[in-house]
């Protein structure tokens, strides 16, 4: 029941807040990656955000979240706070301006609450209702706006998971490589954003317009500070099914298969005579209630049965996870087409044709 001592030592110099229900949160100020189940902002009382912490990617929810990183960030941000306060006192820094916005300001949310209240509003609920609100007001395009908080690999950077401003790798031929960024460089700024974490860099990428053509990076290399201008290729924000796979925002996208189930473990694969490391999942649910019930009915009508083991979809069998399958289906299948499923049932392989519907 004790907060780790090293964390407690740094946290005592902060005013602490924890949000477990986003219902009353000012969405205009606290701008986080709402797909995450954990996120932290380090900020000034006047609304200035110093740093962000708590991103994740498709590999693991914990890859970018560790105690040493948070402790170091809390320690370093105290310096940033003192510097900012000094700048503000000298009239060289100003608090930010923002337009307050809460869930109650989203008509789609208000309508939903009248029918059936969510109770606790989770972070991913915020994202879902921001999407609905945007769709209703022509401010959201699924083709573009699902690609939020781009990871550094989009520009060819791999950062150190613990010392997150440190460049671990630069992909050959990538925009960052072309800009002259090198492994061992330490990121200082990305555009106007001070970078101490991977989430800080993601924020800078997130805030860059869809059609931005370059992003200046300030990097520290030994005793030198250099500026590297990263040229952003067309469509640079758009990721792939794998990068979307962990994000809850994929669920409302259409078309959708209307069924799913757990990925088979190694012993299940062996029992079925499937190669070790291959992908397969066992169908254990159909979407059969609510506004998407037609998707589940469509899947059943195509002959899919509970217990079927799906080993390939549309000729593709190299999914990293069932979430990857769901993201891929939504991104790459078109309503009106037919997708072929290879399934195992009672030890025999069958091919099923699933009409793809919205």
Binding site for another protein (CB under 8 A): 1-4, 7-8, 11-22, 24-26, 30, 32, 36-47, 50, 54, 61-62, 65-67, 70, 74, 77-78, 80-81, 85, 120, 122-124, 248, 251, 260-262, 284-285, 323
Nearer to another protein, 73 or 274 (CB): 73
Q: Provide, rounded to whole angstroms, the least separation between the CB of residue 5 and another protein.
A: 9
Residue 223 buriedness (CB in 10 A; 0-12 / 13-18 / 19+): exposed
Q: Which residue has the tokens 């201008």?
A: 229
Q: Provide, rounded to whole angstroms, the least separation between the CB of residue 74 and another protein.
A: 7
Nearer to another protein, 42 or 170 (CB): 42
Q: Provide, rounded to whole angstroms, the least separation between the CB of residue 17 and another protein.
A: 4
Q: Provide, rounded to whole angstroms, the least separation between the CB of residue 125 and another protein.
A: 10
Nearer to another protein, 63 or 111 (CB): 63
Nearer to another protein, 46 or 240 (CB): 46
Q: Provide, rounded to whole angstroms, the least separation between the CB of residue 253 and another protein.
A: 14
Instruction: Answer yes or no: are the C-beta atoms of 20 and 52 closer than 8 Å.
Output: no
**In this structure, is the dihedral angle defined by the CA atoms of residues 293, 296, 300 and 305, taken in order, positive or negative?**
negative
How far apart, in whole angstroms, are the C-alpha atoms of residue 334 and residue 314?
Answer: 12
Nearer to another protein, 24 or 211 (CB): 24
* List of residues 6+ apart from 242 with CB closer than 8 A: 58, 320, 324, 327
How far apart, in whole angstroms, are the C-alpha atoms of residue 327 and residue 124?
Answer: 16
Distances 24 to 31, 96, 98, 325 between C-alpha atoms, Å: 14, 20, 16, 35
């Amino acid at each position: 029941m004790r907060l780790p001592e090293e964390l407690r030592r740094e946290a005592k110099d902060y005013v602490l807040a924890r949000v477990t229900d986003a219902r009353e949160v000012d969405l205009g100020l606290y701008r986080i990656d709402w797909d995450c189940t954990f996120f932290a902002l380090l900020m000034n009382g006047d609304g200035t955000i110093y740093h962000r912490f708590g991103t994740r990617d498709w590999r693991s929810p914990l890859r970018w979240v560790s105690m040493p990183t948070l402790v170091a960030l809390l320690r370093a941000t105290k310096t940033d706070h003192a510097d900012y306060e000094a700048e503000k006192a000298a009239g060289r820094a100003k608090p930010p301006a923002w337009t307050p916005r809460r869930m109650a300001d989203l008509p789609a949310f208000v309508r939903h609450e009248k029918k059936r209240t969510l109770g606790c509003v989770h972070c991913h609920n915020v994202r879902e209702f921001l999407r609905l609100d945007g769709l209703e007001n022509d401010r959201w395009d699924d083709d573009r706006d699902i690609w939020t908080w781009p990871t550094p690999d989009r520009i060819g950077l791999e950062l150190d998971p613990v010392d997150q401003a440190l460049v671990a790798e630069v992909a050959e031929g990538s925009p960052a490589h072309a800009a002259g960024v090198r492994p061992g460089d330490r990121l200082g700024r990305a555009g106007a954003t001070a970078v101490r974490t991977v989430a800080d860099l993601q924020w800078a990428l997130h805030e860059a317009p869809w059609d931005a053509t370059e992003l200046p990076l300030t990097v520290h290399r030994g005793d030198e500070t250099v500026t590297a201008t990263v040229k952003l290729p067309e469509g640079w924000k758009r990721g792939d099914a794998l990068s979307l796979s962990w994000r809850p925002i994929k669920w409302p996208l259409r078309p959708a298969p209307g069924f799913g189930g757990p990925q088979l473990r190694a012993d299940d694969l062996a029992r079925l005579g499937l190669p070790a490391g291959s992908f397969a999942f066992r169908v254990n649910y159909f979407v059969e209630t609510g506004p998407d019930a037609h998707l589940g009915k469509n899947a059943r009508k195509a002959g899919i049965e509970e217990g079927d083991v799906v080993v390939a979809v549309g000729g593709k069998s190299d999914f990293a996870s069932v979430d990857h399958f769901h993201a891929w289906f939504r991104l790459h299948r078109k309503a009106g087409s037919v997708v072929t499923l290879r399934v195992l049932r009672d030890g025999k392989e069958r091919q099923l044709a699933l009409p793809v519907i919205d």
